[in-house]
Amino acid sequence: MTQNELATYKANLDVFSGTLQELAETDRTILVVTSDSRGSGKLVPFGQKYPAQIVEIGIAEQNLVGVAAGLASTGKKVFAVSPACFLTARSFEQIKTDVAYSDNPVKLIGISAGVSYGALGSTHHSLHDFAALRAVHNLIVVAPADNFEAEHAIRRAAETEHPIYIRFGKKAMPYLTEDPSRRFEFGKGSVVREGADLVIIGTGETVYPAVLAANRLENVYGIRTTVVSMHTIKPLDYELLAKLAETGAPIITAEEHSVFGGLGEACASFLMQHGFHNPFKIMGIPDEYTVTGSQIEILHHYGLSEEGIAEAGFKLVDARK
Amino acid sequence: MTDKELALKSVEYRRKILKYIVEAKAGHTGGSLSCVDILNVLYNHVMNVSPENFKSPLRDRYIQSKGHTVEALYVVLADQGFFPESDLLTLCKYGSHYIGHPTKKVNGIEQNTGSLGHGLSLSVGTALAAKLDGLDYRVFTMLGDGELPEGSNWEGALLASHYQLDNLCAIVDKNGLQISGPTADVCNTDPLDRKFEAFGWEVRHVDGHDLGALKEAFAALPFATGKPSLIIAHTVKGRGVSYMENQLKWHHGVPNADQYAHALEELEAATAALQAALR
């Protein structure tokens, strides 16, 4: 895809802020809470249009989440917006206790997630958030793949009466499909394309390169590939997983997250405990300090790219012959 | 409620705190006895909250940051009619809702707490919501002096004054002891008044066992328009049971049968003395 073509798509983060503005037009209970992150959260227009519906906390993420929980306890639809790296590490205990345990329905929005911050380095990467938050009871964990999933995740989050964490990257994301019958529901993975030889399960911004990889595998090697956007990491769509695994096809998972504790291990855990022994590979960021580079360069470095995922898929299918 | 009735309640609450801690064979005895007079005045004299209005958006809120002294809160809530007091016989027992820290599973509890340093931010958010919506409910939170080194307290304190939350009142139960020793030795937070004043709060000191002084302090809220209020309540850990007062081991000590009997004798004597004095 050329840069020009990509330019017609928006970042999921832009879709988030636009959707929030639409919701706020008719819903005065929508409240954005930020930690000096209205600029990076693309929320400046929101703040200009609805100054009474945005609260600045300052750079204090623990307080951000605690205050958001207090606000949400009064019936407000609170979106607590902060870089995913800080939101889910610095204020992990506030998420665990004030939001999840107390069941205050805060919508935790982790922006610039994964390695979106690129060369800013490991302080700014969130490669732990799925792992950490999966272990917290009473929390939905979501990584939308494209603009469609981003918009619907926000709309559904606004109506959800329990805590939820949604993470976004900041690069433009093409639509995975133009299928008008597309649906979005938390906890229900979305099959983007179908093929009998291989399954690739992605989440968030790895789904699009997975689709490109699937196209390449089919065009070059005739390997027919299913691609799933598993936008909800928790609760995981076990029904879909079982259906995918029943065919016996090799399965690859791809995530912009540590290989530890994220989508891949969640899938593996389910599959192993339910008697599935499909060839299986977890693609993600290995247990090391990430290489320096832009988000795209880092993802390429670790194989989370069209080429990398296609190569992994080819090897997995080839090994069965 | 008359002053006499209020004073008698304090003794009665102490008796019940001990009863249920002995029954559970667990509990934070010393801190429950240091904070119970404050809770007595809050629930019986100050706050607009009851089982009848607990779902109302207009009710006053109480969030206990020092969650470990939940026994005092449970006893007061039971007395207010939020749940049958006999429920407390299950305190900390297998399958009970009544765990050793505040939990929303118990009617009357606003927020789950227990990890220290969380109550103030929650209270700031709740008080801020009232300001945003133009509602006039108030938010009260009780902090322990031992939990004040938690940085989140100071983040909350900053924001409370930034948003001029004069509908927020924090009370520090300053009993001066924490699990490892005197709070001043573990990590000194004095002078507490000047610290909070520097953060934009209006501060008053009060004897945390003087019910009249507590009533007076709460009646003066907000201490300054546009500022959050802090009450530094000077208290005695283990207050009301002579051998527990200011004794570190009663942080979460459970009296044995003899000690319990001794404590009950003292509390009965206190009741008798109150009745004589206030007759």
* CB within 8 Å: B112 and A62: no
Give me the mean pLDDT over the B131-155 stretch. Answer: 98
* ipTM reported for the complex, 2 dp: 0.96
Same domain for A34 and A139: yes
Residue A270 lies in a domain: yes
Same domain for A95 and A24: yes
Distance from CA of B243 to the nearest CA of A (A): 36
Q: Is the dihedral of CA A266, A267, A272, A274 positive or negative?
A: positive
Residues of A in contact with B159 (CB under 8 A): 57-58, 60, 63, 67
Distance from CA of A231 to the nearest CA of B (A): 30
* CB within 8 Å: A31 and B132: yes
Residue A174 lies in a domain: no
With a cut of 80, say whether residue B261 has pLDDT above it.
Answer: yes
Please give the pLDDT value at position A5.
55
Closest residue in A to B162 (Cα–Cα): A57
**Closest CB to B152 among A52, A66, A71:** A66
With a cut of 90, say whether residue A3 has pLDDT above it.
Answer: no
Same domain for A225 and A141: no
Per-residue pLDDT reduced to its tens digit, A136-164: 999 999 999 999 999 999 999 999 999 99
With a cut of 80, say whether residue A217 has pLDDT above it.
Answer: yes
Please give the pLDDT value at position A313.
98
Would you list which residues of chain B are within 8 Å, Cβ to Cβ, of chain A? Answer: 57, 104, 110-115, 118, 120-130, 132-133, 151-152, 155-156, 158-159, 162
Same domain for A218 and A145: no
* CB within 8 Å: B125 and A70: yes
Per-residue pLDDT reduced to its tens digit, A38-82: 998 999 999 999 999 999 999 999 999 999 999 999 999 999 999
Residues of A in contact with B147 (CB under 8 A): none
Instruction: Say how far apart CA B86 and CA B72 lie, in whole Å.
Output: 15
Considering the entire predicted model, what is its pTM? 0.96
| Closest to A142 in 3D by CA, of A34, A255, A10, A274 | A255
Residue A178 lies in a domain: no
Same domain for A252 and A149: no
Chain A window 85-144: which residues touch B at a Cβ cutoff of 8 Å? 93-94, 97-98, 101-104
- Among A118, A133, A167, the domain boundary falls at A167
Same domain for A142 and A230: no
String of DSSP letters for chain B:
--HHHHHHHHHHHHHHHHHHHHHHT---HHHHHHHHHHHHHIIIII----TTTTT-TTS-EEEESSGGGHHHHHHHHHHHTSS-GGGGGGTTSTT-S--SS--TTSTT--S---STT-HHHHHHHHHHHHHHHT----EEEEEEGGGTTSHHHHHHHHHHHHTT-TTEEEEEEE-SEETTEEHHHHH---SHHHHHHHTT-EEEEEETT-HHHHHHHHHT-SSSTTS-EEEEEE--TTTTSTTTTT-GGGSS----HHHHHHHHHHHHHHHHHHHHHH-
Residue A50 lies in a domain: yes
- Among A114, A134, A167, the domain boundary falls at A167
Residue A306: give the domain boundaries.
190-318
Same domain for A46 and A9: yes
Same domain for A138 and A7: yes
* CB within 8 Å: B125 and A68: yes
Residue A180 lies in a domain: no
Please give the pLDDT value at position A290.
96
Same domain for A58 and A195: no
Distance from CA of B61 to the nearest CA of A (A): 11
* CB within 8 Å: B104 and A103: yes
* CB within 8 Å: A65 and B158: no
* CB within 8 Å: B132 and A63: no
Pick from B63, B109, B122, B162 the residue to mutate for testing the A interface (most A CBs within 10 Å): B122
The ranges assigned to domains in chain B are 3-278
Q: Say whether domain B3-278 belongs to CATH 3.40.50.2000.
A: no
Mean of the per-residue pLDDT values for chain A? 96
Same domain for A241 and A208: yes
Per-residue pLDDT reduced to its tens digit, A259-279: 999 999 999 999 999 999 999
Residues of A in contact with B164 (CB under 8 A): none
* CB within 8 Å: A67 and B118: no
Number of separate domains in chain A: 2
Q: What is the CATH number of the domain that holds A134?
A: 3.40.50.970
Give me the mean pLDDT over the A95-112 stretch. Answer: 98
**Closest CB to B112 among A68, A93, A101:** A101
Q: How many CB pairs under 8 A join A and B?
A: 93
Instruction: Say how far apart CA B179 and CA B181 lie, in whole Å.
Output: 6
Q: What is the CATH number of the domain that holds A227?
A: 3.40.50.920
Same domain for A263 and A114: no
Please give the pLDDT value at position A321.
78
Please give the pLDDT value at position A6.
54
Per-residue pLDDT reduced to its tens digit, B89-136: 999 999 999 999 999 999 999 999 999 999 999 999 999 999 999 999
Same domain for A145 and A13: yes
Cis bond upstream, residue A83 (ω within 30): no
Per-residue pLDDT reduced to its tens digit, B20-61: 999 999 999 999 999 999 999 999 999 999 999 999 999 999
Residue A184 lies in a domain: no
